[in-house]
Each structure stands twice: as structure tokens, then as C-alpha cells.
């Protein structure tokens, strides 16, 4: 088949081939029935096949079989299929004429085959070709009538044909010709109507397919989740985004599942005669069992006569919006708290310094008892702790921008570690891994502050024979500092919150140390992550860009 043939032409050729095949089967069926009837009648009447009419019928059958084989070969190569059909029907008209001649001429009962073949022609080739078949049939009947009347072709020897007058011959001929063209007209009208219906059906099917495609594309491209359920709350379909939000695998069947499986708050809504269309907030539960906030609307699913057949749930995930709202609210609270804390720290710091100095004078200028000296040391220690908390509070509420300079990170870490070991418990072993000097543009004072906070937290977290590790490495265009310990670690649920202000896992902690570290790291364009160290406890991984971002 030529590659430039359109799909429509290919489909039309296939349909024509199918119709021609059916016509060939019908022809073989009629001829085979005729052969069987001839043999049966000759057997019943004890006649032999040597009678002229019997031999004539067998010859017709034989020629029909031979032509059918030729038709089948032609049909297989699919060459000029319309001409194949027309040639078949022309030869069929001659065959019908031969059968009429062998069975009594113009008055034979086999003339109905002309009408049958006009119907077949209209079905196979279309309505207008019925007139083509009727015209050929009319010519065959006229020739048969005239040749028989003029005795140019006498009747077969074993047949008795009632002689007819010329007027009787004209009457039979006229009735047959009129019936031929009447059948052709009726079939043409019928086929035209069927073709119109077929075209209308094809257009309707194409329109329906387009609407279905449009409907599926609209639903597929929606950024919101869409769930279609029947009036009993059983899911009929979920769009891809809905499956994504609910964490439902594409291969997981959802048809017939109760909608309450993912939306526990909805079953009561389905008992209402009219669903709500205003936006409402609720909670959904994903396939993994984790709840998440949603905003949804619920509308009625109506059929063609506006009868409710179910509901359409349109929902979207509010997790990100809720986090933003919480962060905004936290920012507002922190702003108000920061103003209050700054004022409070400023007002308390001066009197606190006086109190601390007084304790120092009392402990040196007099001769207090051992118990009084111990109490004065405790008071001085607590005063120092309050001063440190106030310093952290002031630094958090009024952060100082980093003063970046080219800094030897490895040397800075070693210096902090040397100073820290003078104040830490001897039971805690601190190891440092740094293969080479690494330079980066950082604020050395703020870097020391970060390291001191992280080391202090690590030492406080371990107990007994504790271990703390500190490692510095060069990763791409960043310097990485990792502080780990063998303490209890940080729970996965607290790893994000532990970097937030005023969150602490220690009873006496204020929750500002790590938040100050996080703010300093972010001010340098770096990142800080919390995980599990190789020692089994908590690990804080800091990445600083080597070159200051512009």
C-alpha cells in the first residue's frame, strides 16, 4: 500500500474489501444452494444430469466458482476495488439472466435475484450504484425477452414454456423493469439516509472523543486534587494531582473505595441533600497515614436532567501555607519579644553588674565562713549565667552583621579547641581532624562563637566517658565543619525545631545558642544541618562558602 494514502482512504478501502467479501460469500451461498437443489430434484425425479436444464445450471455453477476464485485473487492484491465490485455485479446480472432463461424466461421466479443484487450493489458501492445495477439488469431482461420472443434463443428442450403473446411479454417486462428501478430508488434513498446517519454518528463520536480528551486533559492538568464520588461516598475517580497529594500510587485502584479513607471529616457531609460550595478547611490523611491540612470545596455531580449522582471534591494541600502562616506568626511574636527582651536586658544588665561586683567584694574584703563563701560563689556563678543569657538575648534581638576577612579555618578551630579544653571536663575526650589549612572569607569572632556554642552543647550532652569529634574538610567550593558526639542525639522530630529560637531539649536551656549559630551561618551564606554522628549521638554539619557571595 502506498505510504501517502490517508487514514480515511485506508479505512474506506478496508470497509469496501469487507463488503465485497460478504457479497462473494452470499453469491457462493446462493449458487451452492442452487447446485444442491438441482442435484436433489434430479435424484427425487429419477432424472439424470444429462437433461439440458440440469447441465445448463451446472455450467452456471461451475463458471460462478471459477469467477469467485478470480475475484478472491483480485481482492487479495487490493487493486481498483471499485472496478472489481462493478465487474462482479455486471457478471452477476448476466448470471441472473442465465438462471432466468434456464428456468422459464421472463416469467421465471428467479428474476427476484435481479432485485436482490440491486440491494447488494447499493450496500457495497453506495446508493447511486443501485441505478447502475438496475440498468444492467434491465438490459439483460430486455435482451432475454426479445431474443426469446423472436425465438433467437429457443427454450431448453426439457422445459415447457407457456407461449405468450406480445402484449403479455410487454406486461411482464414492464413490471420487472419498473420493479428494478423502484428497488434502486428505494435503496438509494435508504443508503443515503444511512450514510447521513453514519456521518452524524461519526461526527458525534469525534465530538464525544474530543470532549472526553478535553475533560481528561483539564482534570490531568489541574493543580488541585479532584475526587469524584457517588452519592454513597464511594470514590469513582481521582485525578493525578489528587493521587500525588494523597500519596496514592498510580497502579493502586481507588474505584469503590470510601472517600472517608482519605478524608475522615467528610462522611457527615454526604448525608446533606445539598453539598456546600464554599471553601472550608479540614484535614486529609495520605496513604502513608500522615495527616495534612487541606482547603476544599464540595459540589454536586449532576446528570443530564440535573439529578444528583454524586459529589466532586476539589482540594489543595495547605501544608506549605500553614508553615508560612506559622512562620509569620512566629516572626511577629519574636519581633514583639525582641523589643521586650532588648529593653529588659538593657535595664537589668547594669543592676546585675552591681550585684556581681558586690558579691566579689564581699568574698575578698571580709573573712566569711566557709559556708558563706560557698554561697557567695554560687550567687556569683548564677549571676554570670544570667549575664551570658542576657548577652545571647541581646545578640539575637540585635544581630551584628559579619565582618568577613580571609581566615585560616583550621587554625581558628585549633585555637578555639585549645581554649575550650582549659574549661571542659577531663572525662570528655575531644578529637580534631584537619588534614590541611583551609582559608575562607568569614568573621573569625563569629566563627569562634559558633564553635564554642557547639562544643559546649556537645560536652553537656555526653555523660561519663564521653567523646566529641570535630572535623574540617574542603568540599567543592565550601568548607565543612562537623561537630559530633556520643550523647543521646536529637530525635528526628526535633531536628528542624532545635534550630529555632526558644526551643531547647535541656531543662535549664533558653534555646538561643543554636538559633544564634543558625543566624550567623545564614548571614555568611552557609547552611547548617542536624543528623546522627558516627559516634551515635548528635551531629551538626556546617557548610561555609570559601568565597564571600557577592
Q: What is the per-residue burial (b if ≥16 Cβ within 10 Å, else e) of 25-44?
A: eebeebbeebbeebeeebee
**pLDDT by 10s per residue, the chain, length 550:** 333 333 334 447 777 788 888 878 877 787 777 777 766 665 565 555 566 667 777 787 888 888 888 888 888 887 888 888 788 878 887 888 777 777 766 666 677 777 887 888 777 777 777 888 788 888 887 887 777 766 676 665 455 556 666 676 677 778 878 888 888 888 888 888 888 888 888 888 888 888 888 877 887 778 888 888 888 888 888 888 888 889 888 888 888 888 888 988 775 445 444 455 667 888 888 888 888 888 888 888 887 777 888 888 889 888 888 888 877 877 776 666 666 666 666 666 666 666 666 666 666 655 666 666 666 666 666 666 666 666 666 666 666 788 888 888 888 888 888 888 877 766 788 888 876 788 888 888 888 888 888 888 888 888 767 888 999 988 888 889 999 998 888 888 777 778 877 677 666 666 677 888 888 888 888 999 998 888 888 899 999 998 865 5
The total of other beta-carbon atoms located within 10 Å of residue 492's CB is 10
Q: Do domains 224-317 and 324-397 have the same CATH topology?
A: no
Question: Domain locations in the chain?
Answer: 7-201, 224-317, 324-397, 405-545
Q: What 3-state DSSP class applies to 405?
A: strand
Question: Partners of 292 in the beta sheet?
Answer: 284
Residues 6 or more apart whose CB falls under 8 angstroms from that of 515 comprise 396, 499, 500, 501, 502, 503
For the segment 216-231, what is each residue's pLDDT rounded down to a tens digit? 788 777 888 888 888 8
For the segment 88-128, what is each residue's pLDDT rounded down to a tens digit? 878 887 888 777 777 766 666 677 777 887 888 777 777 77
For the segment 15-45, what is each residue's pLDDT rounded down to a tens digit? 778 888 887 887 778 777 777 776 666 556 5
8 A C-beta contact, residue 444 and residue 483: no
Which residue pairs, CB below 8 angstroms and at least 24 apart, start in 382-386? 383/352, 383/355, 383/356, 383/359, 384/356, 386/352
Class of domain 224-317: alpha beta
Which residue pairs, CB below 8 angstroms and at least 24 apart, start in 139-142? 140/93, 140/94, 140/96, 140/97, 140/114, 141/97, 141/100, 141/106, 141/111, 141/114, 141/173, 141/176, 141/177, 141/180, 142/173, 142/177
CATH topology of domain 405-545: Heat Shock Protein 90 (3.30.565)
CATH topology of domain 324-397: Helix Hairpins (1.10.287)
Amino acid at each position: 500500500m502506498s505510504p501517502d494514502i490517508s487514514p480515511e482512504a485506508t479505512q474506506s478501502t478496508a470497509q469496501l474489501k469487507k463488503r465485497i467479501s460478504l457479497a462473494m460469500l452470499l453469491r457462493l451461498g446462493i449458487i451452492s444452494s442452487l447446485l444442491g437443489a438441482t442435484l436433489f430434484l434430479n435424484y427425487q425425479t429419477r432424472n439424470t444430469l444429462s437433461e439440458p436444464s440440469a447441465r445448463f445450471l451446472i455450467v452456471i455453477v461451475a463458471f460462478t466458482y471459477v469467477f469467485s476464485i478470480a475475484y478472491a485473487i483480485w481482492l487479495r492484491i487490493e487493486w481498483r476495488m471499485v472496478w472489481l465490485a462493478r465487474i462482479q455485479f455486471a457478471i452477476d446480472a448476466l448470471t441472473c439472466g442465465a438462471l432466468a432463461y434456464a428456468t422459464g424466461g421472463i416469467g421465471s421466479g428467479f428474476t427476484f435475484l435481479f432485485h436482490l443484487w440491486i440491494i447488494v450493489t447499493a450496500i457495497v458501492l453506495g446508493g447511486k450504484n443501485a441505478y447502475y445495477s438496475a440498468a444492467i439488469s434491465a438490459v439483460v431482461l430486455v435482451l432475454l425477452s426479445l431474443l426469446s420472443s423472436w425465438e433467437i434463443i429457443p427454450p431448453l428442450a426439457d422445459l415447457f414454456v407457456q407461449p405468450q403473446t406480445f402484449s403479455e411479454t410487454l406486461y411482464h417486462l414492464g413490471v420487472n423493469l419498473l420493479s428494478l428501478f423502484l428497488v434502486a430508488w428505494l435503496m438509494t434513498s435508504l443508503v443515503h439516509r444511512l450514510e447521513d446517519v453514519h456521518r452524524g454518528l461519526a461526527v458525534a463520536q469525534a465530538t464525544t472523543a474530543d470532549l472526553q480528551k478535553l475533560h481528561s486533559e483539564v482534570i490531568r492538568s489541574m493543580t488541585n486534587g479532584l475526587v469524584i464520588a457517588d452519592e454513597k461516598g464511594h470514590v469513582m475517580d481521582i485525578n493525578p494531582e489528587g493521587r500525588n497529594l494523597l500519596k496514592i500510587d498510580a497502579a493502586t485502584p481507588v474505584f469503590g473505595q470510601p472517600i472517608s479513607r482519605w478524608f475522615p471529616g467528610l462522611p457527615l457531609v454526604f448525608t446533606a441533600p445539598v453539598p456546600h460550595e464554599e471553601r472550608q478547611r479540614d484535614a486529609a490523611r495520605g496513604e502513608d497515614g500522615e495527616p495534612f491540612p487541606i482547603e476544599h470545596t464540595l459540589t454536586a455531580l449532576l446528570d443530564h436532567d440535573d439529578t444528583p449522582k454524586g459529589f466532586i471534591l476539589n482540594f489543595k494541600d495547605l501544608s506549605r501555607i500553614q508553615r508560612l502562616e506559622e512562620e509569620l506568626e512566629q516572626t511577629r511574636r519574636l519581633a514583639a519579644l525582641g523589643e521586650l527582651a532588648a529593653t529588659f536586658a538593657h535595664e537589668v544588665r547594669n543592676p546585675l553588674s552591681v550585684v556581681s561586683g558586690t558579691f566579689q567584694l564581699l568574698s575578698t574584703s571580709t573573712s566569711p565562713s566557709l559556708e558563706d563563701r560557698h554561697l557567695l560563689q554560687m550567687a556569683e556563678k548564677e549571676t554570670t549565667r544570667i549575664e551570658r543569657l542576657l548577652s545571647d538575648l541581646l545578640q539575637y534581638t540585635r544581630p551584628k552583621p559579619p565582618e568577613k576577612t580571609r581566615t585560616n579555618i583550621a587554625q581558628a578551630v585549633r585555637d578555639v579547641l585549645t581554649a575550650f579544653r582549659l574549661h571542659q571536663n577531663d572525662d570528655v575526650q575531644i578529637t580534631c581532624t584537619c588534614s590541611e589549612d583551609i582559608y575562607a572569607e568569614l568573621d573569625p569572632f563569629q566563627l569562634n562563637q559558633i564553635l564554642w556554642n557547639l562544643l559546649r552543647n556537645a560536652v553537656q550532652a555526653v555523660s561519663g566517658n564521653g567523646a566529641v569529634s570535630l572535623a574540617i574538610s574542603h568540599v567543592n567550593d565550601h568548607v565543612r565543619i562537623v561537630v559530633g558526639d556520643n550523647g543521646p542525639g536529637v530525635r528526628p522530630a526535633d531536628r528542624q525545631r532545635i534550630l529555632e529560637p526558644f526551643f531547647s531539649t535541656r531543662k535549664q536551656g533558653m534555646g538561643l545558642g543554636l538559633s544564634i549559630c543558625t543566624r550567623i551561618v545564614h548571614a555568611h551564606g552557609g547552611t547548617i544541618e542536624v543528623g546522627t554522628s558516627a559516634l551515635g549521638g548528635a551531629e551538626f554539619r556546617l557548610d561555609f562558602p570559601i568565597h564571600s557571595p557577592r
